[in-house]
Structure 1
Amino acid sequence: MSEALSPAPDSPTADPLAPYDAVVLVSFGGPDGPDDVLPFLRRVTAGRGIPDERLAEVGEHYALFGGRSPINARTDELLTALRSELAGRGSALPVVLGNRNWHPLLDDVLPALARDGHRRVLAVTTSAYPSWSSCRQYRENLAAAAGDALIVERVRNYATHPGFVAANVAAVRRALAGIATPPEATRLLFVTHSIPDAMARAAGPQPRPAEGGYVAWHRAVAGAVAAEAAPGVGWDLAYCSRSGPPQQPWLEPDINDQLAKLAADGVRAVVVAPIGFVSDHMEVVYDLDHEAAATADDLGLEFARAATAGTDPAFVAALADIALERAALARGEAVEPAVIEGAEAGRVVCPESCCVNLRHPGTPAI
């Protein structure tokens, strides 16, 4: 049991996060070294019938970085920052890390919390948007790990929170400041993880736009960031990390295809902003910093990559805000969710129709 865990407080009502008695930061996880890569990828793709030969090909991406994903170090930094922020708001609850796909695993962390006397836990996910892979799958994993021993509840989707947007605005401004090309020949390229079209259309609660909540939320965030960070610069939304069989439609355009189109249209510089990711991990450092940067170089495009939200103080404060918001709602208090103008707030309690699991629709979720 980690020393970071402590028994549930005797007087939970004294804590601003009551009725919760612990907080778990839920991340994707990643390999810590070369020997971890294949077991990690097997866990991520479990049940999909992907052969080890294909996983080994994907593992070559990790080999470029010593077999280590940057997500673990970045998540540890976020964990430290969130602990400090919540303590500054007056909370004494333990804040621990639980990963979906690598150690420390939710399957170990949540039972350990229960053994230490905790009974109601708040989950803060490092995924900001609605979809099965970015929301409901986290809820399914939390339900499986908690079993009957814990009540686990989750903060809402928060990409439209002003603090998340502010962190991305600051990152885009810094990236633009390093571009020598004039604004009229520069383009902002907002990027997120591609998902199957069918999953995208099923993202978010009913009623939802035809394109689904995943795409709609990304467009809302991209528009807000562009309007504040670079009102004179045009922007597009593109996707990275497509996988799955070629005959299955996934969200497009791929970032590399979009870079080629922009170059053909006369654009001379791009700022790539990974708004779909909370922190750097393999999809950012390989797909963007390595692959997309090489494509831009081949096309003669000046290229800059904006930072992810990471531990930007506005983002960390936003996570604390939504944690306290969820606690207030759990106490039965009225709360007005903070969102950017004209955007949708995440549902506090997701209905069954939200981000359905198209493969296994009956899978339990918190």
Structure 2
Amino acid sequence: MSYDALLWLSFGGPEGPDDVMPFLENVTSGRGVPRERLAEVAEHYLHFGGVSPINRLNRAAITAVESEFASQGIELPVYFGNRNWHPMVEDTVARMAADGVRRALVFPTSAYGGYSACRQYDEDILRARAAVGANAPELVKLRQFFDHPLFVGAFADGLRAARAGLAGARVVFTAHSVPEAADLAAGPPEEGGRRYSRQIAEAARLVAAEAGVADYDLVWQSRSGPPRVPWLEPDIVDHIGALHARGETAVVVCPVGFVSDHLEVIWDLDNEAAERAAELGMGFARVATPGADPRFAELVAELVREHVAGAAPRKLSGFPAAGCTVNGETCAARCCEPAKRPS
């Protein structure tokens, strides 16, 4: 089957102080998040001048992918669209249609399953195609890649480098927390759900094994929402306190749930977690995310070749190669449904 383009589909982020509140309103639309909470989160962005690094990092990654495509003879233009901020995916898909694109692959900037990490990108595709109408291109979303050897290898090398500068440190893997109910709903019911947390745990295991780490912890970060709603725990900042209490003197944090250094990484880890470790007199190092590694562009090209050239998927786990969808139709019935919000 032939394709005309690749759509790089991401979360989006503000690129100036005036963007911050409108962006957060887009992110939380329909969720009933209090204005005070938005103002609190806005301060995290304003700490960095109101600019999230995510759009800049995506543009740099797209440039690297375009170069990789050229070197491999993959003749696909790359378009960039976001869920929550400009360039909005609806506008990008409209431009693709105007350019004559009839069938395109979609690379979502998330390696995992789950509602926010996977299925919500299907909803983005459905919404964008509906906005464009009958002329919208067919959109085929690429699969999850948390267990791809290039993804694992980039993290493992980063972990080795971080540990080399902090001898004896406890290794802690971290990923974005989600509500317990959302994690339980992540994956087909017959598989027992929890696709997101199980994939995170498997990625941590794979990275640790390749980096030669026999013992480590897996924790969570960046939770939001009312305290009465249970989320995946423990939190990274709390865990650093627990490590100190049991006599650990240093910690290396590997953000295995993230592909790039966007705000949840540079605020929650490089600021809050690092400050907590400093308060306790503990050494702290944070592993680099793989998005800027040359292997990340190679990974995207490999995922594309699975479709354009019939290349066999490369995987390091026995998890299904899930997540590939056509026009937003999910890979399995009731897979990764959004959790019902408490009344």
Give me the whole-angstrom Cα distance separating, in 2, the residues matched to 1:129 and 1:201. 15
Partner of 2:224: 243
Cα pair 1:160 1:345 within 8 Å, conserved: no
Give, in angstroms, the shift of residue 247 of structure 1. Answer: 0.7
Paired residue type of 1:225? V
Partner of 1:4: none
Q: Is 1:154 matched up with 2:141?
A: yes
50, 65, 79: which one aligns with 2:48: 65
Deviates further, 347-356 or 301-310? 347-356
Cα pair 1:188 1:270 within 8 Å, conserved: yes
Give, in angstroms, the shift of residue 336 of structure 1. Answer: 3.5
Q: Cα deviation per residue 1:244-270 (whole Å; 9 max; x = unaligned)?
A: 111111000000111111111221111
Give 3-state SS (helix, strand or coil) of 1:239's partner: strand
RMSD between aligned residues: 1.6
Partner of 1:339: 315
203, 210, 213: which one aligns with 1:231: 213
Partner of 1:221: 203
Q: Is 1:175 matched up with 2:133?
A: no
Paired residue type of 2:161? R
Query: Structure 1 residues 305, 287: closer, same or farther in 2, change over 3 A?
Result: same
Cα pair 2:141 2:323 within 8 Å, conserved: no
Q: Which runs of 5+ in 1 are unaligned?
A: 1-17, 361-366
Give, in angstroms, the shift of residue 206 of structure 1. Answer: 4.4
Partner of 1:124: 107
Give me the whole-angstrom Cα distance separating, in 2, the residues matched to 1:259 and 1:100. 33
| Structure-to-structure mapping, 1:181-220, within 5 angstroms | 181-182=167-168, 186-209=169-192, 212-220=194-202
Give me the whole-angstrom Cα distance separating, in 2, the residues matched to 1:53 and 1:341. 43
Partner of 1:139: 122
Give me the whole-angstrom Cα distance separating, in 1, the residues matched to 2:20 and 2:172. 30
Cα pair 1:24 1:121 within 8 Å, conserved: yes
Paired residue type of 1:248? V
Give, in angstroms, the shift of residue 342 of structure 1. Answer: 4.1
Paired residue type of 2:171? L
Give me the whole-angstrom Cα distance separating, in 1, the residues matched to 2:5 and 2:189. 31
Give me the whole-angstrom Cα distance separating, in 1, the residues matched to 2:119 and 2:339. 11
Cα pair 1:160 1:344 within 8 Å, conserved: no
TM-score with structure 1 setting the length: 0.87
Cα pair 2:140 2:324 within 8 Å, conserved: no
Paired residue type of 1:277? F
Give 3-state SS (helix, strand or coil) of 2:150's partner: helix
Give, in angstroms, the shift of residue 55 of structure 1. Answer: 0.7
Query: Structure 1 residues 341, 357: closer, same or farther in 2, change over 3 A?
Result: closer
Give 3-state SS (helix, strand or coil) of 2:191's partner: coil
Give, in angstroms, the shift of residue 341 of structure 1. Answer: 4.1
243, 268, 273: which one aligns with 1:287: 268
Paired residue type of 2:250? A
292, 299, 308: which one aligns with 1:327: 308
Cα pair 1:86 1:320 within 8 Å, conserved: yes
TM-score with structure 2 setting the length: 0.93
Give me the whole-angstrom Cα distance separating, in 2, the residues matched to 1:120 and 1:153. 8
Give 3-state SS (helix, strand or coil) of 1:190's partner: strand
Query: Structure 1 residues 323, 359: closer, same or farther in 2, change over 3 A?
Result: farther
Give, in angstroms, the shift of residue 354 of structure 1. Answer: 1.2
Give me the whole-angstrom Cα distance separating, in 2, the residues matched to 1:200 and 1:327. 33
Give me the whole-angstrom Cα distance separating, in 2, the residues matched to 1:207 and 1:124. 27
Give, in angstroms, the shift of residue 205 of structure 1. Answer: 3.3
Give 3-state SS (helix, strand or coil) of 2:243's partner: helix
Cα pair 2:9 2:83 within 8 Å, conserved: yes
Give me the whole-angstrom Cα distance separating, in 2, the residues matched to 1:311 and 1:204. 30
Give me the whole-angstrom Cα distance separating, in 2, the residues matched to 1:19 and 1:312. 28
Cα pair 2:186 2:336 within 8 Å, conserved: yes
Give me the whole-angstrom Cα distance separating, in 1, the residues matched to 2:284 and 2:320. 32
Give me the whole-angstrom Cα distance separating, in 1, the residues matched to 2:101 and 2:224. 39
Give, in angstroms, the shift of residue 96 of structure 1. Answer: 1.3
Give, in angstroms, the shift of residue 204 of structure 1. Answer: 2.5
Cα pair 2:171 2:252 within 8 Å, conserved: yes
Partner of 1:315: 296
Cα pair 1:166 1:315 within 8 Å, conserved: no
Give me the whole-angstrom Cα distance separating, in 2, the residues matched to 1:169 and 1:255. 20
Give, in angstroms, the shift of residue 201 of structure 1. Answer: 1.2
Paired residue type of 1:203? A
Give me the whole-angstrom Cα distance separating, in 2, the residues matched to 1:344 and 1:73. 32
Give me the whole-angstrom Cα distance separating, in 2, the residues matched to 1:39 and 1:90. 40
Partner of 1:26: 9
Deviates further, 117-126 or 307-316? 307-316
Give me the whole-angstrom Cα distance separating, in 2, the residues matched to 1:167 and 1:100. 27
Give me the whole-angstrom Cα distance separating, in 1, the residues matched to 2:137 and 2:340. 27
Give me the whole-angstrom Cα distance separating, in 1, the residues matched to 2:296 and 2:192. 27
Give me the whole-angstrom Cα distance separating, in 1, the residues matched to 2:66 and 2:241. 43
